Structure 1
């Protein structure tokens, strides 16, 4: 896959940076630490507002991340009808390796109405590990 890939490390509870893409994208949320519900909601809103249309949650609190992103998408449209090209697909991967999630991202994470060419690896951890995450993504 020869598409834009960005790695973003966020320590827990950190301020959110500018959005990584100016186009719709898919995101793998790799959470290595527990975070507060408020910060999880803020990150989820940031993803939705930034154009994330397919989010895969892996690691700690995976089902909570999945739900928080779904809720952010619903809230953005005041719990009404979400336009098809703005509907965020979500999945969580509690029982899979990171490599399996990256394979899913590259091969199966497609949006029904928008071509997603960009991918964000959102690494939530006290310390960054971009080389290992990129290597795992490339190998998937």
Structure 2
């Protein structure tokens, strides 16, 4: 399956979470450059899982905590019972990697065990929008 171009979504810390229209099941690159409240991180994790995130690569501040929160959100979604294989959310955190390495991994190694994820969403949480910078970096890897 041909991978579609990456979509970019910029969020300010603790901002309202928009509806993710037009996405079904997708791969997520989460770039966290700003601190957020713990409540917002958990709310955002639930939002991502319910919106169709099935593979999340977290990079930046507290990326290990984000990985835990997304894992927990998916368990919670299924009342801590058995999760259907197609709804398993794969998660990785990349605290020791450069962003270029995360982009390469997303393109070349991040595969879901039960389905092809042709769509990739890049969610950037920070103080300023860096769409052009991150899209250019993604294309160059």
TM-score range (shorter-chain normalised) is over 0.9
Give the aligned partner of residue 8 of structure 1.
Answer: 9
Contact 1:56 1:91 in 2 (8 A): yes
Give the aligned partner of residue 118 of structure 2.
Answer: 117
Q: Secondary structure at the match of 1:44?
A: helix
Distance (whole Å) between structure 1 residues aligned to residue 22 and residue 114 of structure 2:
19
What is the CA distance between 1:99 and its match in structure 2? Answer: 0.6
Give the aligned partner of residue 105 of structure 2.
Answer: 104
Cα distance change of structure 1 residues 121 and 22 upon mapping to structure 2, 3 Å threshold:
closer
Give the aligned partner of residue 59 of structure 1.
Answer: 60
Distance (whole Å) between structure 2 residues aligned to residue 24 and residue 118 of structure 1:
7
Cα distance change of structure 1 residues 20 and 32 upon mapping to structure 2, 3 Å threshold:
farther
Give the aligned partner of residue 25 of structure 2.
Answer: 24
Distance (whole Å) between structure 2 residues aligned to residue 135 and residue 17 of structure 1:
24
Give the aligned partner of residue 73 of structure 2.
Answer: 72
- Give unmatched runs, 5+ long, in structure 2: none
Distance (whole Å) between structure 2 residues aligned to residue 66 and residue 23 of structure 1:
20
Range with bigger deviation, 11-20 or 53-62: 11-20
Q: What is the TM-score when the length of structure 2 is the normalising length?
A: 0.96
What is the CA distance between 1:21 and its match in structure 2? Answer: 3.6
Q: What is the TM-score when the length of structure 1 is the normalising length?
A: 0.97
Give the aligned partner of residue 86 of structure 1.
Answer: 87
Distance (whole Å) between structure 1 residues aligned to residue 137 and residue 15 of structure 2:
25
Question: After TM superposition, where is structure 1 displaced by more than 3 Å over at least 4 residues in a row?
Answer: none
- Give unmatched runs, 5+ long, in structure 1: none
CA RMSD of aligned residues (A): 1.0
Give the aligned partner of residue 131 of structure 1.
Answer: 132
Give the length in aligned residue pairs. Answer: 140
Q: Secondary structure at the match of 1:120?
A: strand
